[in-house]
Structure 1
Amino acid sequence: MDIREYGMFNELEFAKERGIDMGYGIAIVGANGSGKTVLGRYLADLLGYYHMDIEDYSFKDSTIPYSNPRTKEEVHKLLLADIEKQEHFILSAVNCDFGDEINDRYRCVIYIKVPLETRLNRIKQRSLNKYGSRILDGGDMYEQEQNFFKFAASRTMDKTENWLQTLTCPVICIDGTEPVEVNAKKIKESIINLI
């Protein structure tokens, strides 16, 4: 009897029971405003992977977005739970170092680089498009956004770059000023034998 035809087959459970590697993926890292989320979504659609963005896991719902953070442990638990439900995933974050249990599932890491001025312009435009007058002087998110802009302007990628040096999987550096379609095509061609 082929249990697949009766809808009783769960590929992930079947694989886990036999020690087969499932739930692997690609990490996309880069500074705030580098375009990692946009690239992650596009690449996930192109490859048929499940896209996960760290911002969806890092904060609880609140009236003022990004004001109610989860603990590192909560984020790890939520990420791992979703990764284990998927055959393949793409995770986008400034730094995708979430410990060996998650890091060991990366088949490659994409490091997207963009000049600071371009990133800051993207961040400000994204915030304005998303929140409108709430981020302007007098708005309920003004102070929070001003602090974030200052943080993004001064943030370095040292921690991420140090982590990249420890990885055993391939790291692919790309120019985030290129169109997302161009970068996604380059990445797909580069990783075809890795996935």
Structure 2
Amino acid sequence: MSTPPLQPQPEPSQSHQPDKKPSRIHILGASGSGVSTLGSNLSSILSIPVFDVDDYYWVLTDPPFTTKRSIPDRIALLKPLLISAQEEHGGWILAGSMGTWGGPLMEDVEHVIFVDTPTEVRMSRLREREYKRHGDRIREGGDMYEESTAFLTWAERYEDPTLDEGRSRRIHEDWLKEVKVPFTRFNGEKEEPVVIREALEGLGRKP
């Protein structure tokens, strides 16, 4: 009896390749820690889109950051974008803290990066950023003075264990304890090239 010809075996799908690197990434940290900057840099290097959580958390208003979207609306906006990014680019980056409301989005995350930056460094960055964005509107007498002052006061309280709303170290550390995927933690005070290199190494990629 003749032996039947061997059938070509299908190549394993990319999702089952043991050397596949994480391509669905969530970056978080305190305000001013460098989350958005790192997200933008990794997006360029890895050729995958980055989505800033704040763009979907807040309704677009003037002054900005005054009206929150409902949780279902945030998920409804982001979920299709992540699906499309995965199909078209093979991955995505979510930059910004989500906490418990982002559970449906975390189901697809493969790696978490926590950027831990000293308060004095963050606050210097935030004050500079606030003025670049809003100019004299945040000075005393400006229409955004009270809002900007309240934001900076809140951001400076990140290390306060009694802070129970938004971003705080306690909330982030508790959240990280529940993360089911690998995560990388590093100091965001370092020079930008160093931060990028450490992030890539944490993802198992060569800088």
Q: TM > 0.5 between the two?
A: yes
Q: Could you list the per-position Cα deviations for residues 33-78 of structure 1 after superposition, in whole angstroms to 9, with x for gaps in the alignment?
A: 1010011001111111110111111122222111222112211211
Q: For the residues of structure 1 that align with 2:98 and 2:70, how far apart are their CA atoms?
A: 16
The reply on whether 1:183 has 2:195 as its aligned counterpart is yes
The 1:75–1:157 alpha-carbon spacing in structure 2 relative to 1, beyond 3 Å, is same
Amino acid aligned to 1:63? D
Q: Is the 8 A contact 2:28 2:113 kept in 1?
A: yes
Percent identity (aligned)? 27
TM-score by length of 2: 0.77
Q: Deviation per CA, 1:74-111: give whole Å up to 9, x if none.
A: 11211112111111111111345444431121111001
SS of 2:38 mapped into structure 1: helix
Amino acid of the structure 2 residue aligned with 1:184: I
Match of 2:145 among 142, 148, 164: 142
- Return 141-150 or 72-81, whichever deviates more: 72-81
Task: Report the TM-score when normalising by structure 1.
Answer: 0.82
Structure 1: which 4+ aligned runs deviate by more than 2 Å?
Answer: 94-101
- Unpaired runs of at least 5, structure 2: 1-22, 159-167
CA distance in 2, matches of 1:167, 1:33: 23
Q: Which residue of 2 aligns with 1:32?
A: 31
User: Aligned partners of 1:140 and 1:110: how far apart in 2?
Assistant: 36
CA distance in 2, matches of 1:138, 1:100: 41
Contact 2:56 2:74 survives alignment (8 Å) = yes
Matched residue type, 2:24: G
Residue identity in the other structure for 2:38: L
Larger Rg over CA atoms: 2
Aligned ranges 1:1-195 → 2 under 5 Å: 25-87=24-86, 88-95=91-98, 97-155=100-158, 156-192=168-204
Q: Is the partner of 2:129 in helix, strand or coil?
A: helix
Q: Compared with structure 1, are the counterparts of its residues 95 and 70 closer, same or farther at alpha carbon in structure 2 (3 Å cutoff)?
A: closer
Taking a change above 3 Å as real, the CA distance of residues 164 and 188 of structure 1, as seen in their structure-2 partners, is same
SS at match of 1:46: helix
Instruction: Give the counterpart letter for 1:183 in structure 2.
Output: V
Question: What SS is found at the alignment partner of 1:106?
Answer: coil
RMSD: 1.9
Residue 162 of structure 1 deviates from its aligned partner by 0.9
